[in-house]
């Protein structure tokens, strides 16, 4: 069955924008990093950005606003999220496109690929490697892939540090410690946060000669590569 955000995060999509900031450590900081990276790599006269698992269209809208000549294609398998994105991005007309399709499918030729807290739904690292290969194949030389997501350490002591920091973030935003622990337990069913070293290895195997971590704060990172 296709991933449903309402089922996975146990929230109403209308509340997503507010709640995701209480759940996800440094959600807004990652958006700024994405936009700065795109400013380095996007052509001035247009360009196509793919937003993998773009959900409610918040990142796509930010990209469309900052780069008025660019087009953005949101790929997502959850029709309810795409319906929300359609409304949010209506003002951009046909510069934002909504494609109900898995990010694991082959991708169209593009100038940049972004993803924000979406690719952690891929639990099989061979499958993630194939997605990274598709991304590399789709990018033009000089194009950027930037994935904003959680990275976890494989060592128990470090993992516990990151999860404690993460619970602290949620607690500072209205969740009790027990609720924060329960959220992590619930998400573990569908999410996997590989160590950064695994991500960088998969990116190198996919063809990126200099896979990089562009930004990191505790367990949250924006990483990828420029082709």
Ligand X SMILES: C[S@@+](CC[C@H](N)C(=O)[O-])C[C@H]1O[C@@H](n2cnc3c(N)ncnc32)[C@H](O)[C@@H]1O
Residues lying near ligand X in the complex (CB under 6 A) are found at: 3, 5, 20, 53-55, 58-59, 75-78, 81, 102-104, 116-118, 121
The residue among 66 and 161 lying less far from ligand X, judged by its C-beta, is: 66
Q: 130: buried, middle or exposed (CB in 10 Å: 19+, 13-18, 0-12)?
A: middle
Minimal distance, residue 5 CB to ligand X, in Å:
5
Minimal distance, residue 41 CB to ligand X, in Å:
19
Beta bridge pairs of residue 186: none
The residue among 54 and 211 lying less far from ligand X, judged by its C-beta, is: 54
Q: How far apart are CA 151 and CA 37, in angstroms?
A: 19
The residue among 54 and 143 lying less far from ligand X, judged by its C-beta, is: 54
Pairing state between β 71-76 and 48-52: parallel
- The vertex-224 CA angle with 205 and 69, nearest 5°, equals 125
Minimal distance, residue 177 CB to ligand X, in Å:
22
The residue among 57 and 211 lying less far from ligand X, judged by its C-beta, is: 57
- The vertex-186 CA angle with 184 and 188, nearest 5°, equals 65
Minimal distance, residue 86 CB to ligand X, in Å:
13
């Amino acid at each position: 069955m296709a991933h449903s955000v309402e089922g996975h995060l146990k929230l109403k999509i209308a509340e997503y924008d507010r709640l995701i900031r209480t759940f996800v450590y440094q959600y807004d900081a990652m958006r700024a990093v994405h936009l700065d990276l795109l400013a380095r790599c996007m052509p001035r006269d247009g360009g196509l950005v793919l937003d993998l698992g773009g959900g409610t269209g918040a990142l796509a809208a930010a990209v469309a606003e900052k780069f008025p000549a660019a087009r953005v294609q949101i790929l997502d398998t959850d029709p309810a999220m795409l319906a929300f994105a359609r409304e949010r991005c209506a003002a951009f007309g046909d510069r934002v496109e909504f494609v109900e399709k898995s990010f694991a499918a082959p991708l169209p030729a593009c100038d940049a690929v972004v993803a924000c807290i979406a690719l952690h739904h891929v639990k099989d690292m061979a499958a993630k490697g194939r997605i990274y290969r598709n991304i590399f194949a789709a990018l033009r030389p000089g194009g950027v892939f930037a994935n904003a997501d959680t990275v976890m350490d494989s060592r128990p002591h470090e993992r516990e540090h990151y999860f404690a920091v993460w619970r602290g973030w949620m607690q500072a935003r209205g969740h009790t410690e027990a609720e924060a622990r329960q959220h992590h337990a619930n998400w573990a069913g569908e999410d996997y946060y590989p160590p950064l070293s695994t991500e960088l290895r998969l990116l190198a195997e996919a063809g990126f000669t200099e896979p990089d971590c562009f930004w990191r704060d505790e367990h949250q990172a924006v990483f990828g590569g420029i082709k």
